[in-house]
Amino acid sequence: MSVIPHLINGELVTENGRAVDVFNPSTGQAIHKLPLATRETIQHAIDAAKAAFPAWRNTPPAKRAQVMFRFKQLLEQNEARISQLISEEHGKTLEDAAGELKRGIENVEFACAAPEILKGEYSRNVGPNIDAWSDFQPLGVVAGITPFNFPAMVPLWMYPLAIVCGNCFILKPSERDPSSTLLIAQLLIEAGLPKGVLSVVHGDKTAVDALIEAPEVKALSFVGSTPIAEYIYAEGTKRGKRVQALGGAKNHAVLMPDADLDNAVSALMGAAYGSCGERCMAISVAVCVGDQVADALVAKLVPQIKALKIGAGTSCGLDMGPLVTGQARDKVSGYVDDGVAAGATLVVDGRGLSIPGNEEGFFLGGCLFDNVTPEMRIYKEEIFGPVLCVVRVNSLEEAMKLINDHEYGNGTCIFTRDGEAARLFCDEIEVGMVGVNVPLPVPVAYHSFGGWKRSLFGDLHAYGPDGVRFYTRRKAITQRWPQRASHEASQFAFPSL
């Protein structure tokens, strides 16, 4: 069984000590050993980043961007190889893995605009012979902690932008599917990134705590569950670090009586069951305005859910692969058990699915609940699996109250032909990302990604313009060159025009 190394200071590093298995979720078999970093290993990466920072911060943004242009080309050339690694360790289909990579590449493209996005502001003659300007300067050593569900895309939300802003970056990816993440980082070094500017260290809470506690690490980016996001935010900010911590979600889709139901059903199938529901933007609740809408929706969903093509993610032409681990599958199955016990109507039951030839894989079929109510656990908590809950309400206002009362506020959408209803929904809904007839309103790379309420801890969203602000500090400079022939008296009042 091969060992997946760390990448520190441009070198692959292995170590003896604690390690975990990396599984192929389609077969249920362990395929790699992953060493878990010690605090000494984390410090090694920090020291390399600290040493590389002075030269990198003084590298012109245009030269940093040139590295990103080459990186983009290498990512596109290695798409099949990266997608294969994602599918082998995560379980998502090859097509889904390729789509994830493409969305990550969009963030690299945005980072290629470094000379533009790092331009400061300049004002001449703000006072007599006084000019003022501001610029954006890097923080130093920054770090990112990323989840299993997007091993390519989420790291690419973080370090390309952090690096073109002049920082050095330490990445701790998920222990469950690290190979694609490591390969992508190696491609960035192949593109010409100097040693030490990017390191990849594998680990668990020991590694996370080491990054939080290290005074050299000035900022932390995190994507994962809300309890861990809240922990990292609290511990990081307590130590004076800048933190953006993206947490969990419970994303609702509202279906109005005038919705194009066929298109809404197609959208919901992909949004609820794509990637086995292991997306923080997955739609897990369909809020139907009126029983007629709900009955029609359920009738149309049932045959499509039963017809889902499910198998090993590395096979072509599938709709869904396995869940990432056996524990994840069992946890989602437990939620289904709980929903039945609470009185929800289980219309489609995906439990007990067995794939011929992959009987040991971590598979679960699509599940559909009807008559779900807000006090049920399957409504309140993030399931993170292929389970869609149908909730019935009588009005748009009732649907909006339901969403606004929920603790999470990551993403939501409305299906309607009514512009007035859509505008009211967009204006009044207390959610960070909103779609109108768009089920997964993930912002493009030149906007920013983030939720509200307990879906985000921190003031700045991920990537895009907010990402530039997060990974830089504004410095304001006011400069005056007095005329040689003049002499001015001292001023004791506060200066003004």
Residues ≥6 apart with Cβ < 8 Å to 199? 6, 7, 8, 9, 45, 48, 49, 169, 170, 171
CB 145 within 8 A of CB 449: no
Q: What are the helix (H) ranges across 139-289?
A: 153-164, 179-190, 205-213, 226-238, 261-273
- Concerning whether 280 is annotated as a catalytic residue, the answer is yes
Q: How far apart are CA 198 and CA 166, in angstroms?
A: 11
Catalytic residue among 165, 280, 288, 389: 280
Q: How far apart are CA 26 and CA 217, in angstroms?
A: 37
By the 10 Å C-beta count (0-12 exposed, 13-18 middle, 19+ buried), 233 is classed as buried
Residue 83's alpha-carbon distances to 34, 79, 181, 359, 444, in angstroms, are: 20, 6, 11, 23, 21
Cα Rg, the chain, nearest whole Å: 25
Q: Which residues of 241-280 are buried (b: 16+ CB within 10 A; e: fewer)?
A: bbbbbbbbbbbbbbbbbebebeebbebbbebbbbbbbbbb
Structure tokens at 391: 């909730």
CB 312 within 8 A of CB 305: no
CB 378 within 8 A of CB 389: yes
Candidates 15, 117, 14, 115; CA nearest to 63 is 115
Q: How far apart are CA 163 and CA 141, in angstroms?
A: 10
Output the CA angle 256-261-266, nearest 5 degrees. Answer: 125
| Positions marked active-site | 280
